[in-house]
Structure formats: structure tokens, C-alpha cells
Amino acid sequence: MTQSPPAERKVDWKDPQLAATLRARHARERRLKLLGLASLGAAFAMLFILLASLAASGYKAFVQTHVTMDFIISEQNVSPDKPEKGKYRKVVAESLQAVFPEVSRKEMRQLRKILSNGAQYMVRDAVVADPSLIGGVLRLTVPVSDPYDQLNKGEIDRATPEANRRLSDREIAWFDRLKEAGMISTPFNKALFLNADSRFPELAGLKGALWGSFYALLVCFLLSFPIGIGAAIYLEEFAPRNRFTDIIEVNINNLAAVPSVVFGLLALAVFLGWFNLPRSAAFVGGMTLALMTLPTIIIATRAALKAVPPSIREAALGLGASRQQVVFGHVLPLAMPGILTGTIIGLAQALGETAPLLLIGMNAFITSAPESAFEPATALPTQIFIWADSPERGFAARTSAAILVLLGFLIIMNLTAVILRRKFERKW
Amino acid sequence: MTQQETGAGGGEIKISARDVQVHYGDNHALRDVSVDIRDKMVTAFIGPSGCGKSTFLRCLNRMNDTIEDCRVEGDIRLDGEDIYAPEVDPVHLRARVGMVFQKPNPFPKSIYDNVAYGPRIHGLAKNKAELDEIVEKSLRRGAIWDEVKDRLDAPGTSLSGGQQQRLCIARAIATSPEVLLMDEPCSALDPIATAQIEELIDELRRQFCVVMVTHSMQQAARVSQRTAFFHLGQLVEYGETGQIFTNPSDPRTESYITGRIG
Ligand SMILES: Nc1ncnc2c1ncn2[C@@H]1O[C@H](COP(=O)(O)OP(=O)(O)O)[C@@H](O)[C@H]1O
Ligand SMILES: [Mg+2]
């Protein structure tokens, strides 16, 4: 053993070549960070542009121009025996005539259009509720019709030639007179949430769509949550691993990627075609959405079940728990936050889903809110679709407002999911 | 290979295994293991990593049943009764043969519920008072009662590692098992906690048949009365601990003990 051990290799960290590699490594890291920041910035810019443009066009729909005036409820027009059968059109006309005494009978037709078509019904409802008003005067705040609303919101440019304007000079003058008399107000547009859809933009609201979406999501949840969890538990905890379960697994993952319009076609053929379920009903919408939400919930549930550490299963099995006791007593409760998060995200997706609902007719024009899941209804996204398709100016702002409402719900749901996940996050 | 009884100390034969073979799919993990494990003493399984100690331990309470492609052959008897017989319910068997794992794994529930879980699922307590009694007795026998008696509602996961492991031992004791299997119960613990557990194991052997896997030969020497040396899926040597460590009969055992395999 005369051989000396190999000389110790010394690394000279000051060597310029080594220093250069180190610098290059740092530079690469900086570049990566910059790229990440840039893409994040781009994403935020897009989001900002989207929200800003929606808010800019939508905020006007959150207020509505109203006029407060006295309606003369004469006994000629409204009989005290049958207040609901009164001639309220005439009541409105006569009351307007009282405000504008100089307007001729011929111009009256034109003048009447200053008020929303719904004004007469609002007067009627007030009188029916309080018949003692008959023979007296009712002070009521009613919406103005869409063109005047647009005028008040500055959407109609007074400088454009009269021929190209939706309101004539005289009509604008009438409105200005009301305004000078302090009869015009622009309160928060409660009708946007309390009314169902209408042909008249100033009367149209989201109540029907909100209820429709609520019922559809409820049905969707009631179907997809238990079925999804059941399927996931079976696949994850009980099913043998074989070719058959492999095929099922692949198909579930594929189902999650199927375009939603295909589910709509399926629902149209099966639910409406074979089973003759009612068209446009939120119940059918919910079933269709459940088809799409199921794979999401199954995948989320399986991931959550997998994430439960095996040591917990071993502990319970080692004590003599049966497989079912292990799953329902230990694994499922621990996986619940993850399952709920996945479910909420699935439901949020379902809430925004439009195409399948269009196919089963949830884009019908329905002027009353549904009272059950089996009545025809629209949903938020289909309502947006309908309004976006309407020519009246007033619907443009309402479309944006409805999108903002939908986004609001989506943000609330996703926040709930995040909070749930934070709250129950567990360190093993 | 049948082991001769060396007669020294201890009780009856509690578990007797004959020609046990275990396959994980194509992997023949355990070959021809035959061993008699005696009651009221600590039997240690030693051997290099991957030699099949845990696998054999898990045969004794049929935990291998829960692994999908695991196949167990041979004959394992508890008190002369074949535990792989079709009429034996593994759920019931696991109440009689408790198990403690390498990493402390309390349920994320209260200390009380951890210990009460076994008695509850097996219906061992008729009422709350009886259950309270079982819990207290088990925690006392697990040598952790004094540390937790004032906070039985605290989550089991809030305890320190050593306390968690003693809680797991108490939880295993709560179903009144006859055998306690421990798979490297101290390998995730610091030396002080290890010493506490070793002391506890020494105490437990008065009541139970304790079978313990360990990778620490010192630990086997300290706490066990008999030792089995496994190597490459085979039981190489089995006998009194003192004899295995001072005068091993197989050269492989000797190499392992002197640190040449491992
Ligand atoms: N769940 C399992 N699935 C497949 N093979 C396993 C499993 N558990 C253990 N084995 C294999 O069985 C052999 C013995 O493992 P094990 O009993 O865990 O060894 P030890 O506990 O002595 O370190 C190893 O080759 C290991 O790869
Ligand atoms: Mg092991």
C-alpha cells in the first residue's frame, strides 16, 4: 500500500468561469420571474378591462328614471265595486293632461309614451290595494319609458338632428318640464331584481332568471352531489382495479371535457324527447347541468379521498373497523372540505353554463318568475342571452348589469370554496 | 424450518406460523416462515430493510388482506385456531390482535374519541360510564393518562410525537387484545420518547403477547426476550435474544449483528 491517496481537488470559487455560470443562473431565474410577472400582469389587465367595460355599460341599469306624479282616480274611470276593472289607461292619460294642460288630444298619444307601459298597472295595483283612493288623488312614482330613461342618463344626444333622434324636440321639452318641476328622480333600480322579464326594458328584471337559476342549481346539486360522491367512493374505495373500472375511469375524465352543448343535445333527446318532461323547466335544466357537474364532482371527490393519508385508514383497519366504517367514519369526513370545494366550483360552472339551457328552451320569453322547478323559467345566463339579443337601448345596459350580477354570484361561490379550503386545510 | 423451543421463561405458545409464503403480485416477499411466538413476552423481528418483517407482522392480524395484490399462504394459528380459516372475520381478529404503526397515527379527533373508537365499533361498552372506564384504563396502561387526563377533549393530533404513539398504544389496548403488534413503533421518535415507549413495552408484556419490528438491534436487545432475524424474505434465525446477540448460529445473523449486512 504505497500508493498515496489522490490529491484533494480544490474548487476555486473565484474562478471567472465558475462566476460566469453562477451569474448566468441568476439571470435565468430573473428572466423566469419577469415572465411570470408579465403573464400575471396581462391576466389582471384583461380582467380589469372586462370588469371595467361591464361596469361602465352596466352601472346605468342599476338606477332607473322615475317620475312622481298625481294620478286622478275619478269614479267615471274606476268603479268602486270593481276597482280591478277600471280604465287605468284613461286615468294615466287624464293625469298627464292635468300636468300638461296645453297638449292637444292628438298629441296625447305621444305624451302618454313618456310613462312606462307598466304605469297603468302600478296605479291599478295601488288602487286595488286601497280602494278608498277612488274619487281622490294618488301620488305615485312610476318608471318613465325607455327612451326617456336613456335621455335622462345622457344616452340620447340632444345635439343630433331631430330626424336621427329617438325623441323629438317637443318630447324632450316635455321631459325637461317634468324635470324642472322636480318630478323626475333616479333611484336604485329595484325592479332589476324584483321584476321578471318584460318586453319593456324599464320594466324588465332578473327575478325570473334568479329563481330559475336557483331551482336549476338546487336540482343540479341534489342530483350530482350524492350521485357524484357515491360514484367516487365506490371507484376509489371499493371497486376492484380491473379493465372495466379502468374504462369507467377514463370515461369519467373524458366526460368532464365534453362540450356542454353536447349535454344539451342529450338532454333535449332524452329528457324532452323520450320522457316528455316539460320544456323550459328549471328541473330539466338542473338535470342537464347535473350531467355536466357529475364528472367534476367525481374527480374532485376522488382527489380528496386520495389525499387522506393512508395512515388514517390503517389506524382504523388495525382496530378492526370494517371497510365501510373506515370510509364513512374517517376518510369521508376528512375529505369533505375538498369535496365541498370541488362541488361549489362545479356548481359555479353550472351557474354560468348557457348552451345546454338554450337547447332545452330555458331562453323562452317568460314574464313571471317560476314558483316551482317545473314551471317554465329562464336562468341568469340565458336571460343575458335574451337581453343581449334585444334591440332596445335599455336592454344593452341591462345585459351588462345582468352579467355583473352573474359574476357577483360566481365570485361569491368561488370565495366560499376558497374560504372552506383555507378553514379546513389540515397539516398531517 | 421448525424452531426448537429453548424453554427459557415466558408463557404458552400464542401464535404459531408454519410455512408462510407472501406474494405481492410477482414479488415473492416472504418464503417458508415458520415460527412460534410465545405469550407474555416481547418478540422482536430484526433484519435489513425490505426483508419482510412488516409483511410478516401484517400477516398476524390479516392487514395484508387490505392490500389488493397481496397473497398469503401457509398456516398461522392464534391459540391453535387458524386465523385464515374462512369462518374467521378479520374485523374481529383485529380487535384481538392490536396493531401500532411506525408513524403515530391518531385520528384527528379528541383524545377520548381516539381511545373510545375501538370499543365503540365493537360494542364493548354498554354505557357511557363503562366506556369512560375503558378509556381511562387504556390510557393508564398506555402510560399517558397523567399527561392527558385534563384534556381528553383536545385533539389527539395536538400531542407530541411520543405522546401520540402512546395514545396509539392506548387506543390499541382499548379493545382488550391478546396480541399487540408494533411495527417500528419508535423509529419516528426522539431518544427520550423512545425510552418511554420501551419502558411501556416492557410493562405491557405482563399482559400481552407483544411482537415488535425494529431496525435497532440495541432496542431489540433492550426490550425483547426473543428475537427473530429475517433476511431476504426468509426467517434465518429465531431464539432467545441473549443467544442471538451473543452467539448466533447462522453466519448471516452474525454478519448483520456485527454490522456487515444492513
Ligand atoms: N404494499 C406492498 N405492495 C407491494 N410490495 C410490497 C408492499 N409492501 C411491501 N412490499 C415488498 O415486500 C418486501 C418486504 O417489505 P417489508 O415487509 O415492508 O420489509 P421490512 O418491513 O422488513 O422493511 C419488499 O420487497 C417490499 O418491496
Ligand atoms: Mg417495515
Tens digits of residue pLDDT in A58-105:
888 899 999 999 999 988 888 888 888 889 999 999 999 999 998 888
- Report whether residue B27 contacts ligand 1, using a CB cutoff of 6 Å: yes
The pLDDT, as a whole number, for residue B258 is 85
Task: Supply the pTM of this predicted model.
Answer: 0.84
Which domain CATH number covers A251? 1.10.3720.10
**Maximal C-alpha separation, chain B:** 57
The pLDDT, as a whole number, for residue B234 is 93
Amino acid at B167: L
B121/A321 touch (CB, cutoff 8 Å), yes or no: yes
| Tens digit of each residue's pLDDT (9 = 90 or more) over B225-239 | 999 999 999 999 999
- B7 φ/ψ sector (left φ>0, alpha ψ -120 to 50, else beta): left
- The residues facing B43 across adjacent strands are B211, B226
Angstrom distances, CA of residue A250 to CA of A244, A246, A257, B124, B185: 10, 6, 11, 44, 40
Q: Do both A177 and A244 map to the same domain?
A: no
The pLDDT, as a whole number, for residue B7 is 43
Number of domains within chain A: 2
> If contacts are CB pairs under 8 Å, which of residues 64-83 in chain B contact chain A?
66, 68
Domain span at residue A378?
207-424
Distance CA A27, CA A48 (A): 31
Q: Nearest 5°: phi and psi at B81?
A: -110, 130
**Across residues B2-21, what is the average pLDDT?**
71
- Report whether residue B55 contacts ligand 1, using a CB cutoff of 6 Å: yes
Q: Do both A270 and A415 map to the same domain?
A: yes
Domain end: A189, A219, A254, which one? A189
**Across residues B110-137, what is the average pLDDT?**
94
Distance CA B112, CA B132 (A): 8
| Tens digit of each residue's pLDDT (9 = 90 or more) over A379-399 | 999 999 999 999 888 899 999
Q: Do both A157 and A289 map to the same domain?
A: no
pLDDT at B241 exceeding the cut of 90:
yes
pLDDT grade for B12, boundaries at 50, 70 and 90? confident
How many angstroms separate the alpha carbon of residue A426 from the centre of ligand 1? Answer: 29
- Contact between B96 and B109 (Cβ < 8 Å): no
- Contact between B240 and B220 (Cβ < 8 Å): no
The pLDDT, as a whole number, for residue B2 is 40
The pLDDT, as a whole number, for residue B3 is 44
Distance CA A380, CA A349 (A): 13
Amino acid at A191: A
SS (H, E, C) chain A: CCCCCCCCCCCCCCCHHHHHHHHHHHHHHHHHHHHHHHHHHHHHHHHHHHHHHHHHHHHHHHECCEEEEEEECCCCCCCCCCHHHCCHHHHHHHHHHHHCCCCCHHHHHHHHCCECCCHHHHHHHHHHHCHHHCCCEEEEEEEECHHHHHHHCCCCCCCCCHHHCCCCHHHHHHHHHHHHCCCEECCECCHHHHCCCCCCCCCCCCHHHHHHHHHHHHHHHHHHHHHHHHHHHHHHHHCCCCHHHHHHHHHHHHHCCCCHHHHHHHHHHHHHHHCCCCCCEHHHHHHHHHHHHHHHHHHHHHHHHHHCCHHHHHHHHHCCCCHHHHHHHHHHHHHHHHHHHHHHHHHHHHHHCCHHHHHCCCCCCCCCCCCCCCCECCCHHHHHHHHHCCCCHHHHHHHHHHHHHHHHHHHHHHHHHHHHHHHHCCCC
The pLDDT, as a whole number, for residue A104 is 87
Residue A312 is nearest to which of B68, B107, B118, comparing CB atoms? Answer: B107
Domain assignment present for A391: yes
**Across residues A173-191, what is the average pLDDT?**
92
Q: Do both A138 and A256 map to the same domain?
A: no
Domain assignment present for A278: yes
Provide the pairing of β-strand A184-185 with B81-82. unpaired
Q: Which of A319, A322, A327 to mutate to test the interface with B (most CBs of B within 10 A)?
A: A319
Domain end: A189, A221, A243, which one? A189
Q: Do both A274 and A338 map to the same domain?
A: yes
* Chain mean pLDDT for chain B: 91
Q: Do both A179 and A225 map to the same domain?
A: no
Neighbours of B183 (CB within 10 A): 22
* Chain mean pLDDT for chain A: 91
Q: Do both A171 and A253 map to the same domain?
A: no
Domain assignment present for A2: no
- Report whether residue B231 contacts ligand 1, using a CB cutoff of 6 Å: no
B107/A316 touch (CB, cutoff 8 Å), yes or no: yes
Domain assignment present for A5: no
pLDDT grade for A427, boundaries at 50, 70 and 90? low
Domain end: A139, A155, A189, which one? A189
Angle at Cα A348 formed by Cα A345 and Cα A349, nearest 5°? 90
Domain assignment present for A220: yes
Q: Do both A257 and A406 map to the same domain?
A: yes
Q: Do both A119 and A219 map to the same domain?
A: no
Domain assignment present for A40: no
Residue nearest to atom 21 of ligand 1 (CA): B54
Residue nearest to atom 20 of ligand 1 (CA): B50
Q: Which residue has the higher pLDDT, A1 or A218?
A: A218
Q: Nearest 5°: phi and psi at B252?
A: -65, -40
Domain assignment present for A15: no
pLDDT at A11 exceeding the cut of 90:
no
The pLDDT, as a whole number, for residue B4 is 42
* 3-class secondary structure, B53: helix
Domain assignment present for A52: no
Q: Do both A377 and A404 map to the same domain?
A: yes
Q: Do both A154 and A236 map to the same domain?
A: no
Grid cell 389582471 in the structure block, residue: A44
**Across residues A152-174, what is the average pLDDT?**
89
> Which distant-in-sequence residues (6+ apart) come within 8 Å of B262 by Cβ?
B48, B256
The pLDDT, as a whole number, for residue A2 is 53
Q: Give the chain A residue nearest B157 (alpha carbons).
A: A428
**Across residues B170-197, what is the average pLDDT?**
93
Neighbours of A179 (CB within 10 A): 15
| Tens digit of each residue's pLDDT (9 = 90 or more) over A185-209 | 999 999 999 999 999 999 999 999 9
- Contact between B187 and B164 (Cβ < 8 Å): no
Q: Which of B21, B23, B24, B181 to mutate to test the pocket of ligand 1 (most atoms within 8 A of CB)?
A: B24
Q: Do both A256 and A336 map to the same domain?
A: yes
Neighbours of A296 (CB within 10 A): 22
A315/B91 touch (CB, cutoff 8 Å), yes or no: no
pLDDT grade for B5, boundaries at 50, 70 and 90? very low
Strands lying side by side in the sheet with B209-213 = B81-82, B70-78, B13-24, B27-38, B234-240, B226-231, B42-46, B209-213, B179-183, B97-100
